[in-house]
Each structure stands twice: as C-alpha cells, then as structure tokens.
Amino acid sequence: MAVKALQAVRGMNDIFPSEVAGWQNLETDLRALLKLYDYGEIRLPLLESTELFARAIGDVTDIVQKEMYTFADRNGDSLTLRPEGTAGCVRAAIQHQTMRGQTPRYYYMGPMFRHERPQKGRYRQFHQLGVEAFGQAGAGTDAEVIALSARILKQAGVQATLQINSLGSPAARAAYRERLLAYLRPRQAALCEDCQTRMERNPLRVLDCKVPGCQEIAAAAPHLVDHLDPESAAHFACLQDLLTALGIPYVVNHSLVRGLDYYNRTVFEWVTDALGAQGTVLAGGRYDGLVSQLGGQETPAIGFAVGLERLLALQEIQGQLATAAQPLLFVGALDDNSLAAAWKLAEHLRDQTVSVVSAGPATFKSLMKLAERSKAHFQLLIGAGQLQGEPVIIKEQDGEGRWEGSLDAVSTGLQSLGVDFPRHAPHTEHNFATARRLK
Ligand code: ATP
Ligand code: MG
C-alpha cells in the first residue's frame, strides 16, 4: 500500500528558491532603508507567554479572541506563537532596560502566526517587517515614521494610498465610544452578525467592518477627530502640516481605528485595491500607553508593520519582482575519468567567486540538455581530450561567444582568457569589475 505523503499545516507556505530570490532582494532593500533612519535589528523569540499578548493587544480584539496559536508547554505554561511583533519588542526593551533616557529604534523581520481563514494574501504563518521607535512623543516622530513607510513602498515600486486618523487620548476615545454607541444602538439590527455581537464590547471595530451594510452605517457615524482632546487635535494638525511639507499625500479616513487596543493618537495604513479584500499592505500607529501597561516606565512610542507577502504580491502585479540569479557557468564531465578534473576546475573557479553548476558523468547529449536547463550563462565540458591536453572550450549558451584555454589556464580564472562577462551577470561585482578592466 502506498504511504500517504504529509502536507504542510494549512495556511503555512513553503518558499522555494525561485521565490526566495524576490524575498532576499526585498529584505536587502529594506535593511538598507532602515539604516538610513538609524533603526537597529532586534531578534525576538517566536514564542512568548500568552499573558503578554492578552495584556498588550487587548482581550476583546480579533487577534486575542480568535486568531492566536496558544498551547500549554510541557510545564503547563501557556505559550503563544507571536501574532505580531510589537508586544515582544516592548517586553524585551522593558526587560533589558534599554529605554531609560534613551530613544531606541528597533526593527524585526520574520514570521507571525494567526489562525485565520487562509486565502490569497492571508496566511496562518506570514511575515512582517516591523519597526518601533521609543521615547519620542511629538508629531515630528510620527511624520518621520510615516516618511519611512512611504519610502519602503516607493523603493519596492508599490503604489498605495496613505490613510491617517487620530484616536486621541484614552479619555477622549472612551468618551467617543459612548457617543458612537448611542449612534449605533438604534441601528444595531442592520449590522452584520459579527458587529452585533462585538458592538457593546468594541464599538470602534464596527467602523472598519468590511461588510457593505456596516460600512454604510459607519460612513454616517460621528467622526472621532471631531471629539479629540485639544492636545491630540494639535498633534494631528501638526502631523498633517508635516506630511504636506514632506510632499507625502494622505487622506483622513474617519473609519480607520485599527484592530489592536494599544493605539492612541496617530494611526495610519497604506492601502491598495490591487489585492482584492486584503488591501492593507502596511499599518501602524502610536502606542504611548503600552510600555507602562506592560510594566515599564511611561514611554511614548510609535511603530508599524508591513506584510511581506502582500508587498511581494504587489511587486509581482506591478512587474517589480526580482527573479532568481542563474549560475554563471555550467561544468559537465563526460566520463568517470574526467570527474576529478572537472570538479577540481569547478572548485578553483568557485574560489574566485564564479557561481558554478556541475553535472556528470553523462553523455554529451544529456549534458547539453542539463546545461540548457541550468540556464547558466556559459558552459564547458571536460572529457578524455581535455585530460590529454586539448583546450577547454567555454561557450555562451545564448550567444556567439567562444573562448578557449588549457585546463590550467581556465583554473586560474575566466578573466585571464578574456571571457566577456554578461552585463547583469549572476556573479559578484568583484569579478564583473575585473573582467571589464581587462577589456
Ligand atoms: P487585516 O485587516 O488585513 O486583517 P490587520 O489589521 O490584522 O490586517 P496588522 O495586525 O496591522 O494587520 O498587520 C500589519 C500587516 O501585516 C497587514 O497590513 C498585512 O500586510 C499583514 N498581515 C496581517 N495579517 C496577515 C495574514 N494573516 N497574512 C498575511 N499578511 C498579514
Ligand atoms: Mg487581521
């Protein structure tokens, strides 16, 4: 009887080399950008105590109520696979006391876990880049953080719209909550089932419900920004002036409330309609109360997270996705006796950072097929002739180029033979520069 093959957990993806090229390219670009803004990478555990997320994100949020991967470990401690990175980052900064009188800026990149219904752009293991800036309360920091988010999307070649809103102070938000409830209660019957049940607990969530009937009701609801405390109103006005000064277009979305409890004042999202229902690529906001809520000293903070799968999906749609680099050279051995010489040659060339794919021993015909499939720019074969001193012939696979040299000469590098390297060769800059100089 055939053995049943096992499958990955639903909503958790395997990523193969052809796709990883796009990931690595994106990750490299992102790291370079983060340096421009003086963010340092922090590497955090994937597992945290369940209590951390319950306290940070809030008990009545979708994430904590429905989406967490929570289990008891062998000691019976309740642990949770991180559904987002802010809680762990704040926990780490408090635990290691890195915020005292300092203004650290951290970023992290890696997997997050949420038990959601998998669909395009929504997975159970997905990846985020998150950034967190601590210790600065002014709207200037909000503007700078948003400028970084704008630059990330621009660099990725992704078009999206910036939406902003202000949630005000906790007190203003609590007062607004009552006002909103008074508006929603007479309309409760017209809301979707989800909203009917969460309305009393978390009425702000009704504002960003995606069901059309709820959106209609939300559109006519009182606006949060009309009921802000004076300090938050000034903060929001200052942010808008700065965004205008920086030339970053935005729209104020009165329904933007974000699904996590820890936000106050500025919240923002970059949204696109190119991804169907999963339109938010990047989202964040200010969370001045979280550090003290988790046991640290009062410390203002702001951050955002960008979904890497959604960023890559947009890059693919917009033709910006990087493809896998091909090897520079295919080395084939024609028989058992040539194997050692062919492999030694390949190792010598790798010493010089030439990327080599090797195959054999095999017949001429099958080596030709393998060489073509490898998509290497050049190819060469080693057989009995080369062992007896006949020249090694290097050919371009998709062109007319043809060079030759003794086995020893080829071993010392392709440049010395005058090989004309492809302009966008998958080998290092170092080799490319040397080859150009020789011409
Ligand atoms: P959504 O409204 O799409 O559920 P969210 O508000 O839950 O998003 P955040 O917690 O703010 O999302 O996470 C920030 C970003 O992470 C999102 O804008 C999105 O790009 C990405 N993201 C969130 N959940 C998922 C998921 N399940 N699969 C893939 N990407 C996700
Ligand atoms: Mg969500």
What residue segments make up the domains of the chain, in order of their start?
Answer: 17-169+228-317, 329-434
Please report the atom of ligand 1 found closest to the CA of residue 260: 10
Position 413 pLDDT exceeds 90:
no
Measured from the Cα of 208, ligand 1's closest atom is: 2
Domain 17-169+228-317 has CATH 3.30.930.10: yes
With a 6 Å cutoff on the Cβ, whether 118 touches ligand 1 is no
**Mind listing the pLDDT tens digit for each residue in 103-112?**
999 999 999 9
User: For 12-62, how does the pLDDT look when each residue is reduced to its tens digit (9 = 90+)?
Assistant: 999 999 899 999 999 999 999 999 999 999 999 999 999 999 999 988 788
Judged by its nearest atom, the ligand closest to the C-alpha of residue 124 is 1
The confidence score (pLDDT) of residue 180 equals 94
Q: Is 168 in the pocket of ligand 1 (CB under 6 A)?
A: no
The whole-number pLDDT of residue 1 equals: 74
Give the residue with greater pLDDT, 146 vs 435. Answer: 146
* Mean local confidence (pLDDT), 290-297: 96
User: 160 CB less than 6 Å from ligand 1?
Assistant: no
Q: How far is the CA of 63 from the centre of ligand 2 (A)?
A: 7
pLDDT at 392: 95
**Residue 260 CA, ligand 2 centroid: distance in Å:** 9
Q: What is the whole-number distance in angstroms between the Cα of residue 116 and the centre of ligand 2?
A: 8
Q: Which pLDDT belongs to residue 424?
A: 54
Instruction: Answer whether 280 contacts ligand 1 (Cβ < 6 A).
Output: yes
Q: What is the mean pLDDT of the chain?
A: 92
The atom number, within ligand 1, closest to the CA of 280 reads: 18
Say if ligand 1 is within 6 A of residue 262 CB.
no
Nearest ligand (C-alpha, residue 280): 1
Smallest CA separation from ligand 1 atom 24, residue: 122
* 73 pLDDT higher than 50: yes
Question: What per-residue confidence (pLDDT) applies to 439?
Answer: 28
* CATH code that applies to domain 329-434: 3.40.50.800
pLDDT at 62: 84
Q: Is the CB of 84 under 6 A from ligand 1?
A: yes
Any ligand 1 atom below 6 A from CB of 403: no
- The mean pLDDT value for 279-289 works out to 96
Q: What is the CA radius of gyration of the chain?
A: 28
Q: What proportion of the chain, given as a percentage, has pLDDT over 90?
A: 79
- pTM (2 decimals)? 0.89
- Assess whether pLDDT exceeds 60 at residue 427: no
What mean pLDDT do residues 210-219 have? Answer: 90
In the predicted structure, residue 232 carries a pLDDT above the cut 80 = yes
Q: Is pLDDT at 428 greater than 50 in this prediction?
A: no
**What is the pLDDT, as a whole number, of residue 423?**
60
For 184-207, how does the pLDDT look when each residue is reduced to its tens digit (9 = 90+)? 999 999 999 989 988 888 899 899
Q: What is the pLDDT of residues 92-144, one digit of tens each?
A: 999 999 998 899 999 999 999 999 999 999 999 999 999 999 999 999 999 99
Q: Measured from the CA of 116, which atom of ligand 1 is nearest? A: 27
Q: Given this model, what pLDDT does residue 437 score?
A: 29
Please work out whether the CB of residue 114 comes within 6 Å of at least one atom of ligand 1.
Answer: yes
Q: In the structure, what pLDDT confidence band is assigned to residue 321 with cuts at 50, 70 and 90?
A: confident
Our answer on whether the CB atom of 125 is closer than 6 Å to any ligand 1 atom is no
Give the range with max mean pLDDT: 136-150, 314-328, 344-358: 136-150
